[in-house]
């Protein structure tokens, strides 16, 4: 049996590439591995596939500074060289920013994802429907004051009630140069996955404001694991 190494790759997704969906991003990186001569491991069986798993899918239209996937490789060149050979073959709008050799016993990225944080801002051509002060007050009434914030979450199969108090770790409105945006740190992962659109929609509806998903730009800052004490970006997590 050959011994393989686990690698965690971090990348940014911006510009035009925000229109490429999650499944196509996986296909994109499978090809990129070959172009960059990364000696990735393949599964056994008749149609072998690359050992590659993504941390947290990113929706179409969303940009990100912190996307992650894990791969297994036979050998690896030093991280700086691997980053360079990957970036030499990237499309505009994707940049590999980190390449970490993980300990052999590291859990895979998908299983440790606990949170992700986002900036959500109005599109340039979109006038905010309320003032900064109104949003601050709205957030206070909607989120900070209540003991629980129950909303309905629609999944493919069913609708269930969730408590935002337990799943929204941070949320605040911000104003820079007269433009209003929202920052939020949300529970992410296979069990309690929360999307920023849903949080904002609930806030808007509590304030009696109409909500159009199209009116916003969403940017993911990073994805985090939780070691029981604090949230750590996946790229720095070694467990």
Applying CB under 8 A, the residues found at the interface with other proteins are 12, 14-17, 19-20, 24, 27-28, 30-36, 42, 46-50, 60-61, 63, 65, 89, 91-93, 95, 119, 123, 214, 219
- Residue 95 or 192: which CB sits closer to other proteins? 95
Least CB distance from residue 25 to other proteins, whole Å? 8
Least CB distance from residue 36 to other proteins, whole Å? 8
- Residue 87 or 107: which CB sits closer to other proteins? 87
Least CB distance from residue 139 to other proteins, whole Å? 20
| 61/44 Cα distance (integer angstroms) | 35
Three-state DSSP string of 40-108: ECECCCCCCCECEEECCCCCCCCEEEEEEEEEEECCCCCHHHHHHHHHCCCCCCEEEEEEEECCCCCCC
Least CB distance from residue 238 to other proteins, whole Å? 25
- Residue 16 or 150: which CB sits closer to other proteins? 16
Pairing, β 63-73 against β 216-226: parallel
| 56/31 Cα distance (integer angstroms) | 20
- Residue 14 or 169: which CB sits closer to other proteins? 14
Tokens of 181: 């945006």
């Amino acid at each position: 049996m050959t011994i393989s190494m686990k690698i965690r790759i971090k990348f940014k997704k911006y510009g035009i590439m925000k229109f490429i969906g999650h499944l196509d991003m996986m296909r994109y990186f499978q090809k990129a591995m070959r172009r960059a001569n990364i000696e990735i491991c393949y599964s056994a069986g008749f149609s072998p596939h690359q050992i590659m798993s993504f941390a947290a899918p990113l929706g179409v239209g969303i940009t990100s500074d912190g996307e992650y996937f894990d791969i297994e490789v036979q050998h690896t060149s030093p991280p700086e060289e691997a980053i360079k050979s990957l970036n030499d073959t990237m499309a505009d709008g994707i940049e590999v920013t980190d390449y970490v050799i993980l300990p052999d016993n590291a859990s895979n990225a998908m299983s440790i994802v606990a949170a992700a944080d986002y900036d959500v801002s109005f599109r340039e051509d979109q006038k905010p429907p309320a003032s900064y002060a109104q949003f601050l007050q709205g957030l206070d009434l909607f989120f900070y004051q209540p003991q629980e914030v129950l909303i309905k979450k629609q999944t493919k199969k069913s609708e269930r009630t969730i408590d935002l108090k337990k799943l929204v770790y941070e949320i605040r409105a911000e104003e820079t140069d007269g433009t209003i945006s929202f920052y939020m740190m949300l529970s992410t992962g296979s069990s309690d996955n929360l999307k920023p659109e849903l949080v904002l929609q609930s806030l808007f509806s509590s304030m009696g404001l109409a909500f159009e998903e199209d009116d916003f730009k969403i940017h993911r800052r990073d994805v985090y694991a939780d070691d029981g004490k604090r949230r750590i970006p996946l790229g720095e997590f070694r467990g």
